[in-house]
Amino acid sequence: MRRIISSSLLLLESPSSPFLFQFLSINFASPIFWQFFLYFSDFFFCWLEDY
């Protein structure tokens, strides 16, 4: 579980990823993107509390 989260954070941190920039530019104004972002942050903080 920790490996999945750390790899996701690494993906978010790497500015050389064109796919991520494409994804953000397409979905930044999309409510689905924000729902996913809120869900992921809730999951991440719950995981931090459990850990």
pLDDT attached to residue 39: 85
The full DSSP string for 4-43 is HHHHHHHHHH-TT-HHHHHHHHHHTT-HHHHHHHHHHHHH
Q: Which residues contact 10 (CB under 8 A, 6 or more apart)?
A: none
Structural tokens at position 43? 């999951």
pLDDT attached to residue 34: 74
Closest of 31, 36, 47 to residue 12, by C-alpha: 36
Q: Which residues contact 12 (CB under 8 A, 6 or more apart)?
A: 20
pLDDT, averaged in runs of 10, over the chain (51 residues) = 60 60 62 78 83 69
